[in-house]
Amino acid sequence: MTGSERSEYKGWVELESEPGFFNAILHQLGTQDFKVQELFGLDEFALNLLPMPVHGLIYLYQYNDESLTSDDRHDCPGDLWFANQTTTNSCATVAMMNIVMNAEDTTLGSELQAFKEATVPLPPPHRGFMLDKNDFIRSIHNSVARRSALVSEDLLLENKFEAAEQLSRTQSRKRVARPSRIRKRADTEQAFHYIAYVPVKGQVWELDGFEMQPRCLGSSGTDNWIGVASTAIQERMMNNEDLSCSLLAVCQSPLRKILHQFESSRESEEDGKHVRLAAEHVAELASCEEGLDMMRERQKDYSPAVHRWVQILADKGVLRDLIADTAGGK
């Protein structure tokens, strides 16, 4: 799928909980100060493996009607950037923006910086609306999707629209809804949702785009905010005990620090340290490139080759024989 096709597509596709995709998206958005890593635990050992500082956590869980909600929510303070989710399937980017826009001592890049400056004065619902309508951000979000995923998403939305129209007609005729049938249809679809946890000005916040207001989890210092967030995350994990979930950490990319140390070691002629830092730098660049390679692989469109292959089979009569054999086997 070409860049122009992605720009023209006004919907959002589901984003998998794959760190490489998040890293590629951030890189394409123009910021290289972040690195997303999967987190397999909230214990000290797991946290020590992360680059510091950690700007936020992204929690993915299987959403259902009984998912945990909280009344402990506040009006969004002026020093907190929080956007609501205003459209389907954008929750991954909404969660990521709710972290990136609050990160300190980072460079966002020209596009994201302009978006932040334009949305800071707005309330959360309007920020979410502006995010939904931002062609630059939406196109890059969709760049990790295959063409078939966009077609499937369009078909899914069309089916939902037709089902809603049919339900509306049924209700108008009988004036009685059939919730059991609707609930059964909904239960067959697994809905996943991303939410963010972020420290801002000594407070730890849970930022859920589905909620109109952010949730304050309490006060903390810069070094121990994850401990406060982990309590809320573990509560959600227990509430969704039998369902799928994953956790990503949005960290400071170590590239800038490595480059600074590399230059210092070269000036001081510390050969051993110089070689080690050079190796770390190459490894980090390779990690960044890995995510971009995953994105490029998704962008490849094999449908013309498949179409041509099927056409050749049909021209040679092979396809007809295959269909006949299949029908005969039944």
The catalytic residues are 91, 193
Give me the count of residues in the chain. Answer: 330
Cα separation of 145 and 139, whole Å? 10
